[in-house]
Amino acid sequence: MPRVRLLVAYDGTDFHGWQRQVPPGLPELRTAQGVLLEAVHDLVGAAVPVLGASRTDAGVHARGQVASFSIDPLRIPVDRVAMALNTRLPRDLEVVAADEVDESFDPVRSCVSKSYSYRLRIADGTRPRGLEGRATPFERRYTTVCRHEVDLARVRAAAARVIGTHDFRAFAHEPDQRETTVRTVLGCAVTAPEPGIIRFDVSGSGFLHHMVRILVGTLVEVGRGRIEPSDIDRIIAQRDRSEAGPTMPPEGLCLEWIHYGRHDRVVGSS
């Protein structure tokens, strides 16, 4: 049965996250998966499951979400699927690309690694008086505000300590719902792409609920001098959520990409 993989981007501001939600006795909430399901149904003329790779929370954005569905026969050439779906989708969600993948492809289980970015505006004197640490009208949906100075050198020293395979229970909102809280962080880069902005890029084999937002909240506390960079080791070892920093707001978070190893190749390509 043909399986179609979709690369999906969305502004998460007006979505209740990725996963479809139908509260008992209430109208269905607007979710990215729910909107995409309707578009796929309209395109193929059948109600087929559309599976997503990452359950982004309400307000979280995505440039590289991956979804897939299977249907036989697929009555439209796969190279026209993205265009056909986009005519049925709202402006805050877009299918960037579509390709046919092997039947064994699973957007969750086939994942090898993924990466999130987090964008933060800090008070550093680059904005006019009275607007220090305030997001501009054009970035407010995608940038979280920190009204304190942040020492980048301290943040980078702490970020280096989270790289590797650790038990990240202290950085999880609901760890008891997972079989294991051990995860591998492949990279944790901290950059200043423009004045007043700090960007965090965290990649790994997978993440716990709110893990990236809590990691960033902890690193910000290090940058403010409230936690020492070396304390990251202790927080990881103690596995106690109360020892880590706050959960940062969702608007600064974006799912950037998901890699699938051998499944990154399009079916039929050399």
Assign 183 to helix, strand or coil: strand
What does pTM read for this prediction?
Answer: 0.92
pLDDT at position 125: 65
Does 259 have pLDDT greater than 80? yes
Does 123 have pLDDT greater than 90? no
d(CA 261, CA 270): 15
Helical (H) or strand (E) element with 38: helix 32-44
Which residues on neighbouring strands pair with residue 95, listed in sequence order?
8
Equal CATH topology for 3-110 and 113-256 = yes
The token pair that represents 137 in the structure block: 């009208």
Under DSSP, the state recorded for 171 is G
- Split at pLDDT 50, 70, 90, the class of 173 is confident
d(CA 156, CA 149): 15
Does 261 have pLDDT greater than 90? no
- Model confidence over 52-61: pLDDT tens digits? 999 999 999 9
- Model confidence over 65-79: pLDDT tens digits? 999 999 988 889 999
CATH architecture of 3-110: 2-Layer Sandwich (3.30)
φ/ψ region of 157 (left if φ > 0, alpha if ψ in -120 to 50, else beta) reads alpha
pLDDT at position 63: 97
pLDDT at position 129: 67
Helical (H) or strand (E) element with 42: helix 32-44
Let me know: does 210 contact 116? Beta carbons within 8 Å.
no
Let me know: does 6 contact 91? Beta carbons within 8 Å.
no
- Looking at the chain, the whole-number percentage of residues with pLDDT higher than 70 is 92
Whether the CA torsion 67, 68, 74, 80 is positive or negative: it is positive
- Alpha-carbon distances, residue 3 vs 78, 171, 224 (angstroms): 10, 35, 48
- Split at pLDDT 50, 70, 90, the class of 270 is very low
Query: How do beta strands 197-204 and 93-101 pair?
Result: unpaired
- Model confidence over 91-103: pLDDT tens digits? 999 999 999 999 8
Let me know: does 224 contact 158? Beta carbons within 8 Å.
no
pLDDT at position 151: 96
Which residues have a Cβ under 8 Å from the Cβ of 148 and sit 6 or more positions away?
A: 122, 123, 133, 224
Neighbours of 213 (CB within 10 A): 25
Under DSSP, the state recorded for 74 is -
- b vs e for 157-193, b when ≥16 Cβ sit within 10 Å of the residue's Cβ? bbbebbbeebebbbbbeebeeeeebebebeebebeee
Taking the domains of the chain in order of start, what are their residue ranges?
3-110, 113-256
Does 268 have pLDDT greater than 50? no
CATH of 113-256, one of 3.90.1150.10, 1.10.1040.50, 3.30.70.660, 3.40.605.10: 3.30.70.660
Assign 250 to helix, strand or coil: helix
d(CA 117, CA 36): 23
- Model confidence over 143-164: pLDDT tens digits? 999 988 999 999 999 999 999 9
Let me know: does 57 contact 13? Beta carbons within 8 Å.
no
- Model confidence over 40-50: pLDDT tens digits? 999 999 999 99
Catalytic-residue membership of 57: yes
Of 11, 57, 99, 231, which is the active-site residue? Answer: 57
The token pair that represents 259 in the structure block: 């890699």
